Structure formats: C-alpha cells, structure tokens
Structure 1
Amino acid sequence: MTEILDRRLHAFRADLADEALKGRVGAGTYVRGEPARITVPVAPLRASPDLACGIDTELLLGETVRVFDRAGGFAWLQADQDGYVGYLPETMLGLPQEPTHLVSVPRTFVYPEPELRKPPTAVLSMGSRITIVGEAKTRGTRYLTLPSGEAVIARHCLAIGDTLGNDYLAVAETFLETPYLWGGRSGFGIDCSGIVQLALMMVGKQAPRDSDMQAKIGTAITREELRRGDLVFWKGHVGMMEDDSTLLHANGHTMTVARENLDAAIERIGWLYDRPTGYRRLD
C-alpha cells in the first residue's frame, strides 16, 4: 500500500521519486538527485512547472538543492535547507564555488567593484550565501570581494558558521515594514512563517518552512505564560512575541512585517481564522 506523504517535504510523482522513498511510495523510477546551488538572488519555488502557479517558498543565492528532474526548462528539486520540494526554472541553478559568508542584513547591494558610488549589479537578501576571495577598502569603507571582482559591504556579512547572537526576535525586528509576500522568504518580501524560519536560521537554529510545521517545534505553553520569543499560532498563521503583549508578524492586514497588540490581533483575526490554535516556546 502506498504511504501518504506530504508533497511539500517528499519528492514523489507517479513517474519519478527520490530513491530514499523506495518502498514507501510507488513510482516508475527512483533517483538520488544531483546536487546544485541557487545562482540568482531569490528563486521562487512552485508546486508545478508553471510560472503562473503560486509561490510556495523561496530559495536564496547559494543554497543547495538536489535536482531530480529537468524538463521543459524547469527543474524539480528538494531544498537541502528545509527539505521543501518544488519546481523552478533550471536557469536559476548552477554549481558555483563553495560559499564562505552569509548576508547578515535584510538587504545589501553588490557593487561592480569596491566603490559604493558605482551603480549596483545586484541586491541580495539576508541569508544569501556568497563566496569571498579578498578584501578592499575605499575611503574608509571595508568591502569583501567576490570571484567576479564585484564587492559587498563587509559589515553586512558573516562568515559561515557565525551567527547574529541568540535573540532571533532582534533579527526579526530588522524586517519591520518589509512588504508581506505569500511564500516570501527574503528581505524583499516575506510571509509569516518565512520570517520565523529566516530569523532563526541567522541565530543558528533550524526551523521548518510552513506555519503548520512550525506549530510542532518547541514546547506548548499557555497564553498567560507568553514572553519575548514565544510563538503564537492560528490556522495558517504564526507570529512572534516581542514581549508579553506585543506580536510581531508578517501579515496580510498591513501587508508588511508589523507590530500589533496581541489582544487586538486575536480579535481582528478571529472572524476569519478563529482563535489561536496554540502557543509555543522554543527550546
């Protein structure tokens, strides 16, 4: 009997599946998947090979994936970061050098050389992985240089393995006023679970991608126990507590990352999504 698995986290189709799922799902062929990296600043991942299909999540520059199939200009793959499965244009993939640094601010520019007066060549999000081959200084500003000769501001980057401390809320707060984007996971647009996952990643903690998955992490608590860093869940939504009464969340009401009084949020959200489904404290 074929096991029912979450298509978001398991790569399987009638014709093809991840070889790790052999014996768990039926498929015409099983493959291991080939490694690749994201080569564009932000790569939207979709449930089907169709640019008109809604975005499930986004992958960032330098993140690694396993590619199971390439057809019609799309690649079907699984992200190594959180296991999410989907499709994106295969032109967004390649095998660049092993990254050495992470972008550690919500957004930063890439310059054609170590000179901030030059027009930028790209914009990168927090969490992007880049390869640094040198350093330079121009009028007192320190830059890190890429293999292409391009440069980024040194203070906007962390060496891989380093973190932004242990207060993930402080990281999330840097995204205030960032536009809300369904499926977004970058400094250009982000959704409720995307900001939780990205902020935790930057303090060295792993979290699943979607709110229903995140609702299983940490320890259940009561509303009366809420404090900074705790998570509040609704059906299809998650927010983070800045203190015992203030919620920080990417939301479709303000269409931004915003602060909101928790009681007011519960009242406002309740007509559509009912009351909160749970409260969690991260371990």
Structure 2
Amino acid sequence: MALDRRLNAYREDLADKSLEGQVAARRFVVGEPARIGLPVAALRPKPDLASGMDTEVLLGEEVTVFDRADGWAWVKAANDGYVGYLPDAALGSPGAVPTHHVIVPRTFLYPGADLRFPASAALSMGSRLAVVGEAETRGTRYLLLADGRAIVAGHCLPIGTYASDDYVAVAARFLETPYLWGGRSGFGIDCSGLVQLSLMMTGRSAPRDTDMQAVGLGTEIGRDDLRRGDLVFWKGHVAIMEDDKTLLHANGHTMTVAREDFEAAVKRIGWLYDLPTGYRRPVR
C-alpha cells in the first residue's frame, strides 16, 4: 500500500531518510531544520502558486526542509507531519527557540513598545515568538523580540501554558472568521483547521485533514451520546458540538465560522453530502 504523500516526504528523485526501505527514490536525505519566518505560509502539493493550498504553517513553527529549488522549499511540518511546498522566502533559520505563543485569534507586532506605532505585522493565534525582554508604555505591557519589535504581553503566554483547557471555548473565539479552504489561522480557517488549531491551543494534538481526524482523533461514539466537545463528521467536513443541540464549524455555506442548530445542519447538509458519517470524542 502506498504511503500517504500528505504525511510522508517522497518523490522519485528524493525522499526522507526515515523512509529508506519503504519507498523507492534515487536519493534519501535527513533534511534540515528551519522555522517559518512569515506570519502565515501556505503549504501546497506542488511548487506552483496556482496550486491549491493544503494547509498553512504559522510564524515560528518548525519544519524539516528536504529540498530547495527555483524559489521553493519542500518541507514537512513538525506540528502535524504535513508535507508540501512553500516559498523559500517563508523560511527563516532555526534561530532562537520560541518561548511564547499567541493565544488570541489575531494580534499585531509593532516596531517598538507602543500601540501608537504603525503595526509591522499581523499574527494569528498559535504563532510562536522568541521573547528576550519586556517593556511598559502608558500602562500597557509588551514583550520584546531580539529585533526590537514588540507584542502586547496579554496576547501571549509561555509555550506549554494555555489560556483554557476547553477547546470548544477556543473554537468559539473564531466565530465569524472567514472560511478559507486549507486555512489554519485567525485570518481564514477551514473546518478541520478549526478543530486542529483549537485543540492545539489547549495542549492537544490532532491530525490536519477531516479524513485523518475521522479515523485517528479520539474515540468513536454514537449519535445519541453527543455532548459538548464531540465531533460530527460528514464526507469532507467536520463540526464541533458546542452542546448537545448546537455546533460550531467553519463552513462554505456561511463562508465563516458559524454557530448552527445541529438538527438543522444535518438537514441542510444532507441534501448534498448525505448524513453524517461518524461521531468522535477527542481524548483529553
């Protein structure tokens, strides 16, 4: 059986050294570590801007780089193992190990510790930063980066600590965020990206795509057992139960993250995508 190319880096000419003996390739390499240097970088199945986006990686997240050519890098994301191509310019050096992560859906980097300065970048929840100091201006506390840029301290926490252990509450913070196929950030997100990012922000991991989550995330349950935090799967779609009657999901109907009555959603989605294919409860 062929290995899933979304999670295994192999081509005819080159493959991850760890796959030697499992796949055929002319050359096997260990890969080099790097970190994402842009606020958000799209990961694509082909080195082509016209190729649809599979997922996104966020500032400070680590990747393994297997190849660089013609302005593109072929990488594997450390967070969920996803493999794809992104512009070489999106990569920074491994650099300082991030110390903090962003815990609000969206925030800004400033050129210094003052909210009146013009913002130099917008960051998503989950972005990772290496903090070297602190400053305070007019009562607002900032965290400082090595290049002098600053971020509001209340928008971050040290990596390994979390604002909530309730991933449904995290997901609800994304209400009205635009739907984006392959999106995994506070600027645009898809259904499985909402599940993955929300769980990540409570210290739990999840596969990236809906089909992966439907077989590998948590435990299977029955429809009559649904409660807050459970997942409902359709072919190609997933939603989070906010309670036993209401769900949250990033969806192409409203083109946002929206709250919807569960039974109404089943009826609305059913005419095109049939009934739900399964129900699962993420493991705490």
TM range (shorter): over 0.9
Task: Report 1:224-239 matches (<5 A).
Answer: 224-239=224-239
SS at match of 2:143: strand
Q: Cα deviations across residues 126-178 of structure 1 (Å, max 9, x unaligned)? A: 00000111111111111111111111000000101111221000100100000
Q: CA deviation at 1:220?
A: 1.1
Could you tell me which amino acid in structure 2 is paired with residue 86 of structure 1?
A: G
Is the aligned partner of 1:103 residue 2:77?
no
Task: Report 1:159-238 matches (<5 A).
Answer: 159-216=158-215, 217-238=217-238
Q: Is the 8 A contact 2:37 2:59 kept in 1?
A: yes
Moved over 3 A (4+): none
Q: Cα deviations across residues 227-262 of structure 1 (Å, max 9, x unaligned)? A: 100000001000000000101000000000000011
Q: Is the 8 A contact 2:113 2:136 kept in 1?
A: yes
Could you tell me which amino acid in structure 2 is paired with residue 254 of structure 1?
A: T
Is the aligned partner of 1:86 residue 2:84?
yes
Q: 2:54 aligns with which of 48, 53, 56?
A: 56
Where does residue 116 of structure 1 map in the other structure? 115
Q: Cα deviations across residues 163-208 of structure 1 (Å, max 9, x unaligned)? A: 1221000100100000000000000000000010000001000101
Within 2, Cα distance between the matches of 1:131 and 1:140? 23
Where does residue 148 of structure 1 map in the other structure? 147
Where does residue 13 of structure 1 map in the other structure? 11
SS at match of 2:142: strand
Q: CA deviation at 1:36?
A: 0.5
Within 2, Cα distance between the matches of 1:25 and 1:16? 10
Identity %: 68
Within 2, Cα distance between the matches of 1:118 and 1:70? 36
SS at match of 1:198: helix
Within 2, Cα distance between the matches of 1:16 and 1:112? 41
Structure 1, unaligned runs of 5 or more: none
Within 1, Cα distance between the matches of 2:179 and 2:21? 40
Within 2, Cα distance between the matches of 1:115 and 1:94? 26
Structure 2, unaligned runs of 5 or more: none
Could you tell me which amino acid in structure 2 is paired with residue 233 of structure 1?
A: F
SS at match of 2:67: strand
Q: Cα deviations across residues 46-93 of structure 1 (Å, max 9, x unaligned)? A: 000000100000000000011111111100010010000000010111
SS at match of 2:54: strand
Could you tell me which amino acid in structure 1 is paired with residue 92 of structure 2?
A: G
Q: CA deviation at 1:273?
A: 1.1
SS at match of 1:69: strand
Within 1, Cα distance between the matches of 2:164 and 2:92? 31
SS at match of 2:228: coil
Could you tell me which amino acid in structure 1 is paired with residue 209 of structure 2?
A: D
User: Paired residues, what number?
Assistant: 281
Q: CA deviation at 1:39?
A: 0.2
Within 1, Cα distance between the matches of 2:232 and 2:254? 18
Provide the alpha-carbon RMSD of the alignment: 0.7
SS at match of 1:271: helix
Q: Cα deviations across residues 85-133 of structure 1 (Å, max 9, x unaligned)? A: 0000101111132111000000001111111111100000000000111
Task: Report 1:239-250 matches (<5 A).
Answer: 239-250=239-250
Q: CA deviation at 1:222?
A: 1.1
Could you tell me which amino acid in structure 1 is paired with residue 206 of structure 2?
A: A
Could you tell me which amino acid in structure 1 is paired with residue 97 of structure 2?
A: E
Q: Is the 8 A contact 2:164 2:170 kept in 1?
A: no
Q: CA deviation at 1:11?
A: 0.3
